């Protein structure tokens, strides 16, 4: 059994699909030329067929422009010069095909890389890709491809990137990764895909082999390899009980999020792409409290144009049918990189050039996004918020650019909604303690506890080594949250929370008690949260929060909440 962090609840039992690039080791051998040439020609044909097949599958998801990379690879694999140099080397030197392929490709790559021309440098990358596939085919090694999974599987990987998770199909029953924490992006993606996941499971890459049977208990954060029949039976029962509980919660789908003494709050969902809207509505979400627009940028090979962005925002607003949609402007940097943009080298990228800092510097990028958002505003109820605001001046600068673009669009004769709210994320401690001042200028707050906890505890949210410091119940965090909510209310503004804490069942009573107005979470947490809200009175929640704020440790707070709720 391996221990990890439960990141997306559920239980799955299936075969392991290991996402690991094969290690290609080439040794030079003397070989029969005719046999090697034949082997090479067959492997080259298979390589072309593989690329065609990947392109075909990708064509359902990607645009023509994005598919161009596969054409470049096909062109390379069909280049007569490339093939003839390899066959010549086999015939002249009587060496094995993989050695010849490797040598020829290294020579070509060196030549192209030394050229002072972008086009040729890109060709060097194509040669490397094609030759890697060719060598794997010559050596009989499998290159894993998530979109090819065609039987129930649990994906095991070091980590999963957003584009990996985008490739997961209906056969992927869950995943286990070696690194990551509850708020790393793979964990957030798992929750929006509604599949169980255990992250930060060190040792899983060493222990699990392709095809092993795995039990993934993402309620406890445990992984079992090749279990006996009795254990399998036990976990089948656990999986069934989990499914039953999920089903039972569905009666709350259309219920109001209202306490027994009539205090109403909003329970909303977090999304990464327009496709996630359906999951929010199916799970009884009353709005979108966080649309992480960076996925639009991360899943592309260029900065999305104003029109491309407009279409995405319009789809979300229309999909939500007039319910509130809070869109966060671009939050890249830290662990969220773009392959078409070079970030400066920094010692601490999480503390560096990112999010609103980058947008206020590269206002061209920022203005394009704001224009797309303002144009989409007429299709629903739009709120815009800025990520990583630390100072009042940053908020003012960002808001001024928003106002300028709004005026520009009005002058251009474009229809614009007159009720767009402009707020900010409170995810830097400096903003939380200064909340009353921010509230004079921002229309609303959304507390980002994933980062607020990371920065308050000085503990990298991606590191499983310090994941014990992710302490949403720590009184220090509760006090920052309370200050933020009070700051908003003092100025008649609303306060929401879109960090993972908002969906933690035992945090809900505390947040309710502190007066949080909107809770935004992974869609799958909404019904559980509603069950909690509807079973409590605001009066008892407030008393509970007051008591909790006086305690010293996270453990004390959690046991207090449990003693009241689980009674």
- Told to check if 499 binds ligand PEP by CB under 6 A, we report yes
Restricted to residues 248-307, the positions that interact with ligand PEP (CB under 6 A) are: 290, 292
Separation CA 516–CA 433 (nearest Å): 16
Exactly one of 102, 137, 183, 293 binds ligand PEP (CB under 6 A); that residue is 183
Q: Which of residues 319-338 bind ligand PEP (CB under 6 A)?
A: 331
Q: What are phi and psi of 426, to 5 degrees?
A: -105, 100
For ligand PEP, the closer of residues 394 and 427 by Cβ is 427
> Residue 127 or residue 332: which is nearer to Mg ion going by CB?
332
Burial 121-130 (b: 16+ CB within 10 A, else e): eebbbbbbbb
Contact call for residue 192 and ligand PEP (CB under 6 A): no
Active site residues: 185, 498
CB of 156 to ligand PEP, least distance (A): 24
Question: Using CB under 5 A as the criterion, what x/- string covers residues 440-469 for binding Mg ion?
Answer: --------x--x------------------
Q: Which of ligand PEP, Mg ion, none does residue 498 bind to, with CB < 5 to 8 Å depending on kind?
A: ligand PEP
Shortest Å, Cβ 126 to Mg ion: 36
- How big is the chain, counted in residues? 567
Least Å distance, CB 215 to ligand PEP, is 29
Q: Coil, strand or helix: which one is 198?
A: strand
First to last CA, the chain: 32
Alpha carbon dihedral 295, 271, 423, 413, in 10-degree steps, equals 70
Rounded CA separation 37/84 (Å): 10
Least distance from C-beta 448 to Mg ion, angstroms? Answer: 4
> How big is the site for ligand PEP, counted in residues (CB under 6 A)?
11
Nearest-approach distance from CB 193 to Mg ion, in angstroms: 20
Among 33-41, 237-245, 358-366, 442-450, the segment contacting ligand PEP (CB under 6 A)? 442-450
Instruction: Establish if 359 lies at the interface with ligand PEP (CB under 6 A).
Output: no
* Sequential DSSP letters for 40-93: HHHHHHHHHHHHHHHHHHHTTTS-HHHHHHHHHHHHHHT-HHHHHHHHHHHHHH
CB of 507 to ligand PEP, least distance (A): 13
Binding letters toward ligand PEP, positions 445-474, x by CB under 6 A: ---xxxx-----------------------
Candidate ranges 34-42, 363-371, 410-418, 427-435; the one touching Mg ion (CB under 5 A) = 427-435
| Residues 20, 205: Cα–Cα separation, whole Å | 9
The rounded distance, in Å, linking the Cα atoms of 504 and 536 is 15
- How many other C-beta atoms can be found within 10 angstroms of the C-beta atom of residue 506? 18
CA-nearest of 77, 75, 104 to 91 is 104
Cα-Cα-Cα-Cα dihedral sign, residues 215, 217, 220, 223: positive
Q: Which residues in this chain contact ligand PEP in the complex, by CB under 6 A?
A: 183, 290, 292, 331, 427, 448-451, 498-499
Q: Which residues in this chain contact Mg ion in the complex, by CB under 5 A?
A: 427, 448, 451
């Amino acid at each position: 059994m391996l221990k990890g962090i439960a990141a997306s609840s559920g239980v799955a039992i299936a075969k392991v699909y290991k996402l690991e690039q094969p290690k290609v080791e080439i040794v030079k051998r003397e070989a029969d030329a005719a046999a090697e040439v034949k082997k090479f020609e067959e492997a080259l044909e298979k390589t072309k067929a593989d690329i065609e097949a990947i392109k075909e599958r990708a064509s359902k998801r990607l645009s023509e422009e994005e598919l161009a990379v596969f054409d470049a690879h096909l062109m390379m694999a069909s280049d007569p010069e490339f093939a003839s140099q390899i066959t010549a080397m086999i015939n002249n030197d009587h060496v094995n095909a993989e050695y010849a392929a490797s040598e020829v490709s290294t020579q070509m790559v060196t030549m192209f890389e030394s050229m002072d021309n972008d086009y040729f440098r890109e060709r060097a990358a194509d040669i490397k890709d094609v030759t890697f596939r060719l060598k794997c085919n010559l050596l009989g090694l499998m290159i894993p491809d998530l979109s090819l999974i065609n039987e129930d599987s649990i994906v095991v990987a070091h980590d999963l990137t957003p584009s990996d998770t985008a490739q997961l199909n209906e056969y992927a029953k869950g995943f286990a990764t070696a690194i990551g924490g509850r708020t790393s992006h793979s964990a957030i993606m798992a929750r929006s895909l509604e599949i169980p996941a255990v992250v930060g499971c060190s040792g899983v890459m060493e222990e699990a082999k392709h095809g092993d049977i795995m039990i993934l208990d993402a309620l406890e954060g445990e992984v079992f390899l090749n279990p006996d029949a009795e254990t399998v039976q036990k976990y089948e029962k656990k999986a069934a009980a989990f499914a039953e509980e999920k089903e039972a919660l569905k009666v709350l789908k259309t219920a109001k999020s209202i306490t027994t003494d009539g205090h109403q709050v909003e329970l909303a969902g977090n999304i990464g792409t327009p496709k996630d809207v359906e999951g929010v509505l199916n799970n009884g979400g009353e709005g979108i409290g966080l649309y992480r627009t960076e996925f639009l940028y991360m899943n592309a090979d260029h900065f999305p144009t104003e029109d491309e962005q407009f279409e995405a925002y319009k789809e979300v607003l229309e999909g939500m049918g007039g319910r509130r949609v809070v869109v966060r402007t671009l939050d890249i940097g830290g662990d969220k990189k773009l392959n078409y943009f070079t970030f400066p080298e920094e010692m601490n990228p999480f503390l560096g050039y990112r999010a609103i800092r980058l947008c206020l510097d590269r206002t061209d990028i920022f203005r394009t996004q704001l224009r797309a958002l303002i144009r989409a505003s007429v299709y629903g109820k739009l709120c815009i918020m800025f990520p990583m605001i630390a100072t009042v001046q940053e908020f003012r600068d960002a808001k001024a650019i928003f106002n300028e673009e709004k005026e520009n669009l009005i002058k251009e004769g474009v229809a614009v909604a007159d009720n767009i709210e402009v707020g900010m994320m409170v995810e830097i401690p400096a903003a939380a303690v200064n909340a009353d001042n921010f509230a004079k200028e921002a229309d609303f707050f959304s507390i980002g506890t994933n980062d607020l906890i990371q920065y308050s505890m000085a503990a990298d949210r991606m590191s499983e080594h310090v994941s014990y410091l992710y302490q949403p119940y720590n009184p220090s965090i509760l006090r920052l949250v309370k200050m933020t909510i009070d700051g908003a209310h003092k100025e008649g503004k609303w306060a929401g929370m879109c960090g993972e804490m908002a969906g933690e069942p035992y945090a809900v009573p505390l947040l309710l008690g502190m007066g949080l107005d909107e809770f935004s979470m992974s869609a799958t947490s909404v019904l559980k949260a509603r069950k909690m809200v509807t079973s409590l009175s605001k009066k008892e929640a407030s008393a509970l929060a007051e008591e909790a704020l006086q305690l010293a440790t996270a453990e004390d707070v959690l046991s207090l909440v449990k003693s009241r709720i689980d009674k």
